[in-house]
Amino acid sequence: MIFKFDLIGGINMPKEQFIPRGRPIVLCLPGAEKLVEKIGQLLPEWQLMVAEVEYFTDGEVKVCIPAGKKNTVRGSDIYIIQVQQYASPRSRQDVFMELCMAVATSAECGARYRTVVSPWFPYGCQDRRRRREPLSARLTADFLTAAGATNVFALDPHNDATQGFFDRRLCNFDGLFSSSLMISYLDREFKILTKKDDFRVATADLGGSKRVKHIHKRTGLKILTGYKDKDYESSQATGVQINGSVEDKTVIIWDDMARTGSTLKVTVAALARQGLKRLIFVAPHADFCGDCVKIFDDLYNGGHGVLGEAIFTDSFS
């Protein structure tokens, strides 16, 4: 396909040839087996490969594409799939290096397009400076671009500004969002669209206000706003202030992830003091760390606690 671009004033730009897509290949990294299996069911004509990941005795890692003529990637359109794992023996740094090396291997083996599919964008929460520290989310974008990625897909990025960390001339970032699926499920199970006055949608801190505003526009549910006090040394929430009435209401806390559970714990305590009837927690990412699972279990209490349901995607395996 050939496009001709004209500047204002009639100045003609040279014709630009767009490189067509090649043979589609899915490259599976450790932890992505379930997602790749689903992709294979939806796209049976796509070739599936499993990357060979080897760790040396000193901790260095090597990522290889399987040998053989049928596994050539030259001129192909390769999709590199990585999913974060619970309680993985490999550190997050190891997992990210595996991803970078898989991208670099694909580029050096001649793949025409190298698309990273990582439901959780690595270091996505480190998107602003609070003290003398790097923008690690930006550094992640630099690493993936330098390795040779041409596209990156992530699910519900922590900050919409993540796309601005990429140079779109080299690598394009796309954030996919699960809100439509979540809203559909909540309406089917709890009738949130027909019994709107029984529900409130809330965020535990000001950082999530944009998220719940979007849910409000989609559903018409009234918003509760919260302000979180946080100890950034320990990454633990120490208190939450909620603005709005929740007496005899079911509150839907809509967050982007569950990590330590500390924010949820103090938020529920604040809501309970105001007469909360029931709680539903919604988040696309379940990055359970520390005592997070225990906190959810305590709030649920075998079905007798204040937590009625916790809803996540399978972005973590």
**CATH label of the domain that carries residue 132:** 3.40.50.2020
- For residues 29 and 124, give the distance between their C-alpha atoms in angstroms, rounded to a whole number: 20
82 and 224, same domain (yes or no): no
76 and 199, same domain (yes or no): no
pLDDT in tens, 208-219: 788 889 999 999
170 and 193, same domain (yes or no): no
Supply the mean pLDDT for the chain: 87
Which residue range is the domain that position 266 belongs to?
A: 179-311
Does residue 10 lie within any of the structural domains? no
Per-residue pLDDT at 233: 65
pTM, rounded to two decimals: 0.85
- Least confident range from 16-20, 22-26, 184-188: namely 16-20
Query: What mean pLDDT do residues 233-242 have?
Result: 64
Does residue 113 lie within any of the structural domains? yes
Does residue 157 lie within any of the structural domains? yes
30 and 86, same domain (yes or no): yes
Does residue 3 lie within any of the structural domains? no
209 and 106, same domain (yes or no): no
Rg (CA), the chain: 22
34 and 156, same domain (yes or no): yes
Torsional sign, CA 276, 278, 282, 285: positive
Residue 56 or residue 233, greater confidence: 56
pLDDT in tens, 32-45: 999 999 999 999 99
43 and 66, same domain (yes or no): yes
C-alpha pair distances (Å), 71 with each of 41, 44, 277: 20, 16, 57
- How many domains would you assign to the chain? 2
Query: What are the start-end ranges of the E strands in the chain?
Result: 2-3, 16-17, 24-28, 47-50, 52-55, 61-64, 77-81, 113-117, 151-155, 172-176, 199-202, 222-231, 236-243, 250-254, 257-258, 278-282, 285-286, 307-311
87 and 171, same domain (yes or no): yes
| Contact assessment for residue 61 and residue 91, using Cβ atoms and an 8 Å cutoff | no
Which residue bears the tokens 């590199």?
Answer: 80
171 and 263, same domain (yes or no): no
150 and 207, same domain (yes or no): no
- Which among 176, 191, 225 is the end of a domain? 176
- Least confident range from 92-96, 124-128, 179-183, 245-249: namely 245-249
Give the DSSP letter of residue 208: G
- For residues 6 and 103, give the distance between their C-alpha atoms in angstroms, rounded to a whole number: 35
Give the DSSP letter of residue 283: -
- Which among 119, 146, 176 is the end of a domain? 176
- For residues 82 and 51, give the distance between their C-alpha atoms in angstroms, rounded to a whole number: 11
Give the DSSP letter of residue 18: P
- For residues 290 and 292, give the distance between their C-alpha atoms in angstroms, rounded to a whole number: 6
- Which among 176, 200, 226 is the end of a domain? 176
Does residue 6 lie within any of the structural domains? no
Smallest Cα–Cα separation from 124: which of 20, 290, 256? 256
Does residue 228 lie within any of the structural domains? yes
